Amino acid sequence: MHCDEEGKGIEQEYWEQEPLPLRSEVARAIRQTASRKATGPDEVPPELFKAGGETVLDRMHRICVAIWETGEWPEKWTFSTFIPLSKEGDLKQCANYRTVALVSHAGKIVLRIHTYIHIAPKIVCPLFNFVRNSVVHVHGVANPRLEDG
């Protein structure tokens, strides 16, 4: 929501268009996808994205561009499978379990690209004096728009 500049309190909804994802960003996100992980509800393993080569890369790039242009997310990517895993101790106690959520690997790729484009460039870290549009590493994710790789 946006409040008008005149301060009249009129709120209107608007969308600021993010830059479309680059093919190189999709390729990087696919490369950084962890292998040997359980599939989500769509039952697509991460190895499929890596083994699919240029064909999968081209298709995934088209899907990413369509998501950016329409703002519509594939419905299957919104589902998660929750699995309780027991810890040590009395299995009748809820506190002795942790939950793992299995989500779509394709959705993870899109979220990683969103991080490259939208989030990582805006992080300010005063400890290291990073400023907006610096090359910022967040849990091993760098902004590929600012560095080659």
**Which pLDDT tens digits describe the chain residue by residue (149 residues)?**
334 445 555 555 555 667 889 999 999 999 999 999 999 999 999 999 999 999 999 999 999 999 989 989 888 888 899 999 999 889 888 889 999 999 999 999 999 998 877 666 555 454 444 444 444 444 444 444 544 44
pLDDT at position 126 is 46
Are 108 and 114 spatial neighbours (Cβ–Cβ below 8 Å)?
A: no
Domain ranges of the chain: 16-128
